[in-house]
Structure 1
Amino acid sequence: MPGIAGDTAKELEFMYESDAVSSFLVIRCAGRIIEYQAGMVDNNEIDHVIPVETVRKEDANYFYYNITSQVPLSVYLKRNKLSREAFLRLILNIAACLNNAAGYLLYPSNFLMKQEFIYIDPATQDVMVVYIPAELRCEDVGTLQTLVSELLMQHINEEEFCNGNLVQRILAEVKSEAFSIRGLMALANELLYGQESRETAGLSPGPEICAKTLEENREKCKMEEKKEAEENPGTKKLSPAVAIAVLLQFVMGGAIYLCRGIIAGTGKDAAVNYAAVALIVLAIEVLIFRKLQSLKLFSIRTVGNAGPDVYGGPDALHDAGRPQMPGMLEHEKGRMQAVTEEDGDAARQRQTAPGFSQKTENLETRDTGGFVLINVNRQPGEKDIVIDRDEFIVGRLAGYVDHALHSNAVGKLHAVFVRRNGCCYVRDLNSLNGTYINGKRIESNKEILLRNNDTLRLANCEFIFSCAPGHKTDKPEKDKEAGTCMEEGLYGMTSRLAGQL
């Protein structure tokens, strides 16, 4: 049964469903569908708006949004605080999305302006928003003004927000009776880039200012990364492995030169003798390299656009392009396989990333908790994962998670472990390659109870869940909302397809 995220006076009902490779946000709407808007969102790739497919059943409209690999803003902000600059860019990007949508005849009031349903890329601060193409009588979809106010209140005690009059100016703008999206964009531009940018923004037409603003943000991020690379010239130094290889060539070459007389007089054919010596030298160099690497005098790693780590079992990952949207034919579904997320993202990961709070964490607020993930395929230097928070996030994006896994197949924020009432639960965060318990994939956005010695797999990283004595492994009565593993091959999709038929 789909997990229900909330409802608004029975007019809107939010649920989650999953199939073999994708996760979907499902919105049940009792209002009349706006056909041309549904077509606009479904058939056009509108920047930063999640495509939607509409299914009519049970006298209601169901809107399906593919949120595979998307990170909800609410989850992101539980672990990270935005810097002043990152906060302004986020507000600017959300406002620019709404402003640009006017060119497609979409209503700003129909965007879902709640942190739970706004999705963010932690590395770039780009956002994806949800649009409901239907006549809505309720205001619980949220407004841009309310969203900005809530975000501001969450960061008001941060050091960068206490300086200047940023808080006062933004609150005055969103609470003004003459509030407009373009006015908010102009203010954010001014606070980011100065008065001149606000004047320029005020003269720009609506659709152009959106594209220009987003492009300026991306260019500024690239310039900052380039500047950081220039300030750290040590990264361009010659690799120890290359230096050792060159030195070995000189040593071996000198040895062969000194023994040239002996080599030439060993047999009738000098060329064969030299070839045999070259092979022996090559074998010796390989052995030396392996010995030095085992002593950890240097390491050899692939960075940048490195290929994905491949799981060697029966559930091996294959590249098959774009994740499938609902409503596709069965034979098309058979061709869809899990793919690794955005190769090369690992190269952009940093322990201290743009927008990550610099506030020192108080270790007294953390405890061992008694729950441990034992790494089955442990590599040198890797440790078991101790779940020492009530909400413990695991993923590959270092600096934004509590424990980073070094695999491109793992999602940026892959899963969260929740400690409650002496039990431990896991919830998949819309990951592409999924979370498996004892070989069965679990639904996204649904808490699943973990039991002692359960086998847990996050994409291609396998663990054994260990529970210390004294902790519960059975679902408490008060936690009836927690689910169990999915048994079917198509998770939650069967009922939807049956409804369509």
Structure 2
Amino acid sequence: MEAYDGLIERGIPMADSLYDLQVDYVRHHGHFMVLSSPRGLKPEELSSFQMTMLSTNPVPKLLQVQLEAREGEIQLYYTITGKRILRHWLRLEKLSLYQFYSMLYQIASGLDDSRVYMLQPERYVLKDEFIYYGDSLDDLYFTYVPVEQLEGKATISEDLQHLASRWIHRVTELHGSGYQELMSYLTAEHFNLPELTQLLLKQMRLAAEVWKEQDEVPIRGARLERNAKVDSEVQFVEQHISPGETLFPLSAEGDGKALPEVKPNQLKRKSILMGATAILACCFVWKLYADTPGTRMLYICSAVTMLLVCAVFFLLRKQREQVFEENNSHMVVAEPYENMKINEADADDFLREIGLGQSNSSREVRSNSKTSMQTTPLLSSNATVLLGRLAQAGSPTNPYFEYSREGVRQTVIIHKSPFVIGRTELGVDWVWEEEGVSRLHAEIVKEGDSISIKDLGSRNGTFLNGELLVPYRVHPLKEGDIIKLITTDFVYKMR
């Protein structure tokens, strides 16, 4: 403990924590996440058998871990080179319902398969800040801690409940009662991993069927054309589950409601049948006109045709409304994940009432800044920037960054923790649109009276007093420190 306190006094970067362990990041011939103990992790606190299995057998979906001993104390080095933290991805992007179930399935199947390697599922860290991804969300990697006692570690079902409740808020379109069924099972007494994987596979199949029927699929907040990857994913699920198979029988105690029978093509078949019937009726009507032509018969046949078209249109609309109401009767309504969108006009009215409102001119400047690729320069040398808006002149009461743009001194108030800086408005607290800035570039964190900065795995890095920061590592800030993003220097000031 004395050695650890000495590191703090000398200004060595403090680490995050995981249960009763300290988390740090280093970069030396690769990028590593390091777990250690402030009191010193002793060899007897580790499971030697599990360490042997981890070091001799590359376990799928697990971060590779190496053990390093220094002065009788153990540190665990996890290789994260080329990988990103999942929580940062979720801050920016949305999920399809299929992706939601697929990610949980990767976790559940990985936990279940860990027994093949004589590992304990309870030693998995099921927190999205310790889950990493590679090229895509199909390429997840998990942290396994081979420590005998983890202080404050929740059960597997509790960790999965927490993850599911967080991730569901990122889902763009919800249908069916699969989420309620999942959460009900995670709280059931008979919870086990094999049944959970079967439940998730079933929900993946249902989501994939809806996905496959759509010409366009909602992914990453946009509408992307469906391609062969969708068909391959549907085929993967169908290999594990046959459509008529009963995969997850709920207990008699009523732990949850079974899903209604899914008939994805029923509406389409009825629509085709009604359309074909209407066409045949129209053909019969105009055959009568062909047999007995005349002006009066022409009017009659035209009127009957119009009535048939209107009747079909009315019936189709009624049927779609009925299906929509049935789907809404068991739909889950999600709350925002982290950043709630507030009506801007209502917010401005409220601010004006309490004396903090903005003028029309400043609102116009802010509106123009959203369509420009450059940050709008401030109008006053003493103005401050708060969440991309122009604030009133005056000395900031919170810590802030000071920088110069086009010869004008500007400030950025650090008004919350964490305070994220990046290129995109989605998921960040202050937008810096200089070329080379990553979507999530750096984060300012306040703990007590200390304020620190960490790079969020940005492509071009973040510099502190001329030194390139190790991604995800926490670095304390002091008065006068210079933070460099691409070509701009930001001076950190306390008051």
> TM-score, normalising length from structure 1?
0.49
> TM-score, normalising length from structure 2?
0.49
**Higher-RCO chain (CA-CA 8 Å, sequence separation at least 6):** 1
Larger Rg over CA atoms: 2
